[in-house]
Amino acid sequence: MQGALAAMVGVRVCVRICGVRSASDHCGNECLDFPSWASASWESLMLRGFRRSTHSPAAGTLPASVCANRARGVGQEAIMELRPFTGTYLTDPAAVWHDLLRRDPGVHYAEDLGMWLISRHEHVREAFADPESFGNALTLAPVYEMCPEALEVLARLDVPPTTAAADAPVHTRTRRALRAAFAATAGRVEAWYGPIVRRRVEQLVSGLARRRGEVVDLVPEFTAILPLLVVVDILGVPERDVSRIRGWADGQIALVWGHPEPAEQVRLARGLLEFWHYCQDLVARRNAEGSGGDDFVSRALRHRDGRDDVLTLTEVASMAFNLLVAGHETTAGLLAHALDQALSVPERWRWLAAVPERLPGFIEEVLRYGPAIDGWLRVTRRPVTIGGVAIPAGARCLLLIGAANRDPAVFTEPDRFDPARPALRDHLSFGHGPHFCIGAALARLEADIALRRLAEAIPGLRLADGHVTAYKPNLAFRAHRMLPAVVDADVRAV
């Protein structure tokens, strides 16, 4: 491991999510030291660090770090339970964000999760911008204690850290490779991926328009399938594998950020293993065939140029593994939130259909108001103080993007949906700093093309009567369960 980090930390850190960090604080469970987890694969972190230690503190107890803050008079009212999989946070997260934002100091400790909640825009932005203090190594480690049977399956995985879950220097090297193989700027995204997006949008919208008078669920029929079709085209994956990839991707999100029952954990873990083997085989075949294509895997192999010090074949597979999930799930969420907002007010949908140039502002406000990912995990690599609250090294932190996007210190009337508001891009829905989402330009392009064509073809599209928005229980991804809509192609735009 990097000697500088080892010297900087110098203590053995229990990666129990309550964040204890010294012998006197020790929780009595297995612990990890920074040298091991800073460069380990996320699967090994799950197996070594979370087999017995990912759980809440015992009832009635708090970690010493929280008690120390309270003794200093900081965060007297900052102890709470988030309950992300049930109750208000699942049905109306904005109500919880509002409560967190109004309560000083804006940094809270969630007893039920054993992690720190960072809610204010200034502090979330600060954490994103400081990877030396807020590391990425545990981003993909589950927030619950997995059952032994699921861990046994995951023991057969050996996925190196993805770019999204790595810190420097691994992140620096793999991010450079990712930028070489994946279009990230608006101009290059349009040139490389614009034709793919338009072809897939036309295919799906034409199919929906033919179903005049029917009630269709826009989640499986449009918002979820479109980004997946686009990303499999970008990676050069056969379309016949789409349904399998969809199941694997949904399974990874449920396994890592959800809270499945033990039997479901085992099923999802097996799916994850199959998914990883699929990505390895994809890269091996492409490497054997030659890397002359213009798909992502071929571009990554050309960038590698046979040199493991640039990128290993396993890392190429890991990047494909990550993109097949992140490359479509976030855009699927954006599209679902956008259509929910647009169709919940019929005049708003026709307003967009009448003047498509309104779409960019509308999309940015959707990103702010209802981000597809409204919380993201970090782990402190050293003791930090944020918002006046001292957080020890080795503590898991949940950066509440959704709350930061509703911070009244940044956004006027933050709970009002306003596509005309100034400074629309001050939201943090794509993150900030060195881990800023590399797919942001693609997500914006897909949303613009998809909504523009759908509004043109079906200006009378409307939500089915009686629909109530419901989300899948998840700590990070705010995904719609369904979005039933009536296809009415006869209504004109206004």
- List, as one string, the DSSP characters of 110-152: ETTTTEEEE-SHHHHHHHHH-TTTEE-TTTTS-SSPPPHHHHH
Beta bridge partners of 107: 118
CA distance 266 to 389: 38
Mean pLDDT, rounded, for 261-270 = 97
Q: Alpha helix locations (H) across 210-260?
A: 218, 225-235, 242-257
Closest CA to 111 of 50, 57, 71, 64: 57
Residue 321 one-letter amino acid: F
CA distance 473 to 282: 32
Neighbours of 324 (CB within 10 A): 27
SS3 486: strand
Quote the tokens at residue 137: 């190594």
CA distances from 148 to 134, 269, 354 (A): 29, 11, 56
Per-residue confidence (pLDDT) for residue 87, from 0 to 100: 87
Angle between helices 313-344 and 346-354 (to 10 degrees): 110
SS3 32: strand
Quote the tokens at residue 12: 């053995």
Interstrand relation of 396-399 and 376-380 (parallel, antiparallel or unpaired): antiparallel
User: From its phi and psi, is residue 358 left (phi > 0), alpha (psi between -120 and 50) or beta?
Assistant: alpha
Mean pLDDT, rounded, for 357-372 = 97
Mean pLDDT, rounded, for 162-185 = 88
Per-residue confidence (pLDDT) for residue 30, from 0 to 100: 33
- Phi, psi (deg, nearest 5) at residue 10: 65, 5
Neighbours of 169 (CB within 10 A): 10
Residue with structure tokens 């993805």? 162
CA distances from 238 to 221, 230, 232, 233, 322 (A): 19, 12, 7, 8, 17
Of 115-119, 139-143, 145-149, 288-292, give the lowest mean pLDDT range.
139-143
Q: Identify the residue with better confidence: 27 or 338.
A: 338
Angle between helices 313-344 and 225-235 (to 10 degrees): 150
pLDDT in tens, 94-128: 999 999 999 999 999 999 999 999 999 999 999 99
Per-residue confidence (pLDDT) for residue 215, from 0 to 100: 97
Per-residue confidence (pLDDT) for residue 32, from 0 to 100: 39
Query: Per-residue confidence at 64, pLDDT binned at 50, 70, 90?
Result: low
Contact 336, 483 (CB under 8 A): yes
pTM value?
0.87
- Phi, psi (deg, nearest 5) at residue 482: -160, 165
Q: Report which DSSP code applies to 71.
A: H
Per-residue confidence (pLDDT) for residue 54, from 0 to 100: 37
CA distance 82 to 90: 10
Q: What is the largest CA-CA distance in the chain?
A: 71
SS3 175: helix
Q: What is the H or E stretch that residue 376 is in?
A: strand 376-380
Side-chain-side CA neighbours of 250 within 13 Å: the count stands at: 19
pLDDT in tens, 370-380: 999 999 999 99
Interstrand relation of 134-135 and 32-33 (parallel, antiparallel or unpaired): unpaired
Per-residue confidence (pLDDT) for residue 11, from 0 to 100: 25
Side-chain-side CA neighbours of 478 within 13 Å: the count stands at: 27
What angle (nearest 5°) sits at the alpha carbon of residue 259, between those of residues 256 and 263? 95
pLDDT in tens, 409-426: 999 999 999 988 887 889
Q: Which domains does the chain carry?
A: 112-486 (1.10.630.10)
Radius of gyration of the CA atoms of the chain, in A: 22
Per-residue confidence (pLDDT) for residue 331, from 0 to 100: 97
Statement: residue 242 has pLDDT above 90:
yes
Neighbours of 454 (CB within 10 A): 26
First to last CA, the chain: 61
- Phi, psi (deg, nearest 5) at residue 118: -115, 120
CA distance 2 to 119: 31
Interstrand relation of 79-80 and 107-110 (parallel, antiparallel or unpaired): parallel
Distant-in-sequence, close-in-space partners of 416: CB < 8 Å, separation ≥ 6 = none
SS3 199: helix
Q: Quote the mean pLDDT of the chain.
A: 85
Residue with structure tokens 């349009």? 190
